[in-house]
Amino acid sequence: MWGLHPTKIQKMMEDLSSQYETFGSSIEITQDSDKKWYMRVRSSYAPAVKQFAGEAEISKRALRTLAYVSKNNRITKRNLFKRLGGSIYEDVKELEEKGFIETTPFGRTKKVHLTQKFRDYFEM
What CATH number labels 58-121? 1.10.10.10
Q: What is the pLDDT of residues 67-80, one digit of tens each?
A: 999 999 899 999 99
Q: What is the pLDDT of residues 40-60, one digit of tens each?
A: 888 887 776 666 555 557 888
* Geometric angle at alpha carbon 22, from 49 and 42, rounded to 5°: 20
Cα–Cα distance measured from residue 22 to residue 104, given in angstroms and rounded to the nearest whole number: 51
The pLDDT of residue 2: 62
Domains 6-53 and 58-121 belong to one CATH topology: yes
Q: What is the pLDDT of residues 59-110, one digit of tens each?
A: 889 989 999 999 998 999 999 999 999 999 999 999 999 999 999 999 999 9
Domain coordinates in residue numbering, the chain = 6-53, 58-121
Q: Are 59 and 100 in contact (CB under 8 A)?
A: no
- CATH class of the 6-53 domain in this structure: mainly alpha
Burial (CB < 10 A; 0-12, 13-18, 19+), residue 92, is buried
Task: Tell me 86's DSSP state.
Answer: T
Amino acid letter, residue 85: G
